[in-house]
Structure 1
Amino acid sequence: MRIGIDYTAAVWQGAGIGRYTRELIRATINQNRNYEYRLFFAAGGLDQQSHYVQDFKQVCREHANVRAVPIPLTPRRMTQFWQRLRAPLPIEVFTGRLDLLYSPDFVLVPTRAPKILTVHDLSFWVYPQFAAQGMVRYLSDAVPRSVRRADLVLADSQATKRDMINMMDVDPERILVVYPGVTEDFRLLTPEECLPVQQKFNLPQKFLVFVGTLSPRKNVVRLLEAFHMLTQKSEHANLHLVLVGQKGWLSDDIFTTIARLNIAQRVLWLNNIDDSDLPAVYNLACVSVYPSLYEGFGIPPLEAMACGTPVVTADNSSLPEAVGDAALMVTAEDVEALASSILQLLTHKDLWTRLRDAGLERARQFTWERAALQLIDCYERYN
């Protein structure tokens, strides 16, 4: 059985869908070596020396049944060609015959083969004001069209499945929930293992951490306001906040808020951090805060849990599914409740310890190996 996989996000994006694709496909290949894989990707303008490209080349060297298929277009041109212009040229022109196509990134390219598609969330409809309007228009057209073409649709959570049923009128029988995993690199580390990262970024002794794109949907402005409330208390005068993530759409309000609250000396922004450094940052933090307004799943809270860091998160969308009873949850719009929950973890050692232990156990339930086995079961339907 020959399977074509859209691997574009994996070689172009560090976090988010890029990491999802790398981890899931690597785990799938390791679990089942009986299939042939054609991993196609937009290669125009790609930095061949990037970490993600080198990682991909290593996968191809390790597995004789995996072949890279570069498409001589940039990601933008590839999107224009197949999604905006709807060019009917099938991907088989590049990959050769396929028995199945899998796309882990919202949209499908033309193919003659049966099709499996992953839809991570519907944020472009739920919060259209938090994305570029051109992107909203594109996704509002391309995603429903791809869902209609797909033989099977995978969702990251029951919450996303419900959204597809309610907002796109998709038959529930066509949707399967496959939870993402937590990469094994996210684990408890010793102080000695964390020290190089602490020194590299000059991390403070006591800090909260947020990991995610700096954008309105992530609710960072309210996090900053809650953090400011905490720093007004004398016992937390030495508390800092570390923001880990790149600027997203409409991120200016975040930096305006930092200036308005006069907390620039207490907020550290790490905008270009290697994946390998992130586990140590989680380990060093006293609390991980993830107050997002909407998530298709929300991996950062589980990454923090896997590192033994208690979590405060929001009680909306898929986040309760992800964290279970192993985190403190608040209404995302309630700044005082957010500050109060963080304060509970800072001042009650028993609660901090209980949630650390519960979080470690919760994170163990989400593995890429489990997700890969579910994906292989999906492949078998078309074998």
Structure 2
Amino acid sequence: MSVKSVTTPGLKVQRPSSFLVQMVIRYNFRLMQTEHITGKRPRVGINAHLLSGEAGYRRAGIHQYIYQVLRHLPYTENGPDYLVFTNQPDVTAGKMGMTAVSTRLNTNSRLLRILWEQLIWPLQARQRRVDLLHSMAFVTPLLSRRTAVVTIYDLSFMHYPEQFPAGQRRYLTTMTRQACRRARRIITISQSSRQDVHHFFHVPLDRIDVVLPGVDDAYRPLPEEAVSAFCREKGLERFILHVGTLQPRKNIPVLLNAFANLPPSGLKLALVGGKGWLYNEIFTQVKKLKLEERVLFTGYVPDGELPLWYNAAELLVFPSVYEGFGMPVVEAMACGTPVIASDSSSIPEAVGEAGLLFNPQNAAELTDRITAVQQDPALRAKLKKWGLQHARNFSWKRAGRKTAVAYRRALQGR
């Protein structure tokens, strides 16, 4: 099947009018009977509108997971065709059995993305005779009765509600609960998240599939000359690395306290990642600890540059209090960089036996872990060796296959 991009006509609006909403709802109710196409390949419609074409924090973890799973979904003789609903049609380029369906709505706008997701997508799915809808981020359309699969990355908004803006928290809590009730299969990215979905939303464990992230081939030990040239270009010498969006659950103030307690040296701390929300405490803490000359805020880093940051760093520190998985952990290991990470939520699953863990509330313990890695060459060598071996356990190809298995189970009514 040839790959093509289909554009769905839309209204050029900045704000959805009540008239538009009412008309879409009325039309949608007339079309809400689920139908299957006898004798034809099943069709899976995938909501990938969280893919971002712009540099920024939206291209972080969820974007990477969606992109890689789509690129690795298998096409088989008896399997489904895939309709990927996205305004980033390049993701389907060269993929057999995969077609991009775009909209003129600017789904980078949260409001318009919700409008599309809840009202327009069910219509598009009905018109294209989609058998299964896969919502790749938390929320399914309320007005659709089609068989559904939903991916839930984490429930940080349930564990730490005070760390989210009130409107965002209420929306995620309400809509994720509804999605768990309606979806036939639920995908999580770790065993820890699987248990969270079971605990908070009472979903039977046999309805929840774990599809672990993989590691892209770009994350590998790079030639020393390339790393040295990168460091000269950026003016880098010795540094500890943190990768992640600046937001409360990343627990960066504890990392700053631990870093401030290290003996004086030329070592710096590089915080790689864009601004998320409620991040002012981080900058306040840097000033309070007088670390302005020792902490580097890089902002968002392009995907192609990130492996160089991992390779150049002395170690990665990942102090989050909660994660759905913790992709920077295995990315750093794949580059041969030692890892120190918190022992919270799913992070021990990502670390395995290949890194050092610490209590994310204990800055002194983190200081001790960093000091041990810096002062013990044998320990550094072991962590590098173990990390490289451990990272090989994570495969995007396997993630694509397991996602396809979840589709098959859902279509079979299991």
What TM-score, normalized by structure 2, do the two folds share?
Answer: 0.83
Q: 2:256 aligns with which of 200, 207, 224?
A: 224
| Alpha-carbon displacement from aligned partner over 1:122-166 (angstroms, at most 9, x marks no partner) | 000101111111100100111110111100001111111111111
Q: Match of 2:62, as an amino acid?
A: I
Q: Is the 1:24–1:368 contact (alpha carbons within 8 Å) kept by the matching residues of 2?
A: yes
Partners of 1:32 and 1:135 in 2: how far apart? Answer: 42
Q: Match of 1:106, as an amino acid?
A: F
Q: Is the 2:74–2:401 contact (alpha carbons within 8 Å) kept by the matching residues of 1?
A: no
Q: Match of 2:68, as an amino acid?
A: E
Q: 1:2 aligns with which of 43, 50, 53?
A: 43
Match of 2:111 in 1: 77
Q: Is the 2:49–2:113 contact (alpha carbons within 8 Å) kept by the matching residues of 1?
A: no
Match of 1:212 in 2: 244
* Cα distance, 1:282 vs structure 2: 0.4
* Cα distance, 1:210 vs structure 2: 0.1
Match of 1:105 in 2: 137
SS at match of 2:129: coil
More divergent stretch after superposition (126-135 vs 21-30) = 21-30
Q: 2:276 aligns with which of 223, 235, 248?
A: 248
Partners of 1:188 and 1:226 in 2: how far apart? Answer: 28
Map 1:81-96; keep pairs closer than 5 Å. 81=115, 87=119, 90-92=122-124, 96=128
Q: 1:115 aligns with which of 148, 164, 175?
A: 148
Identity of aligned residues (%): 36
Off by >4 Å, runs of 4+ in structure 1: 29-34, 86-89
* Cα distance, 1:372 vs structure 2: 1.0
Structure 2 residue ranges without an equivalent (≥5):
1-41
SS at match of 1:153: strand
Q: Compute the RMSD of aligned alpha carbons.
A: 2.0
Partners of 1:33 and 1:279 in 2: how far apart? Answer: 38
Q: 1:296 aligns with which of 324, 327, 344?
A: 324
Map 1:128-207; keep pairs closer than 5 Å. 128-203=161-236, 205-207=237-239
- Whichever of the two has the greater Rg, that structure is 2
Partners of 1:221 and 1:33 in 2: how far apart? Answer: 52
Partners of 1:67 and 1:222 in 2: how far apart? Answer: 45
| Alpha-carbon displacement from aligned partner over 1:297-326 (angstroms, at most 9, x marks no partner) | 111111110100010000010011111111
Partners of 1:313 and 1:95 in 2: how far apart? Answer: 48
SS at match of 1:9: coil
Q: Match of 1:289, as an amino acid?
A: V
Q: 1:27 aligns with which of 72, 83, 86?
A: 72
Q: Is the 1:152–1:176 contact (alpha carbons within 8 Å) kept by the matching residues of 2?
A: yes
Q: Match of 1:276, as an amino acid?
A: G
Map 1:39-58; keep pairs closer than 5 Å. 39-41=84-86, 43=87, 53=88, 56-57=89-90
After superposition, the Cα gap between the structure-2 partners of 1:89 and 1:99, relative to the gap in structure 1 and judged at 3 Å, is: closer
Match of 2:299 in 1: 271
* Cα distance, 1:65 vs structure 2: 2.4
After superposition, the Cα gap between the structure-2 partners of 1:31 and 1:359, relative to the gap in structure 1 and judged at 3 Å, is: farther
Partners of 2:96 and 2:340 in 1: how far apart? Answer: 44
Higher helix residue share: 1
The count of aligned residue pairs is 363
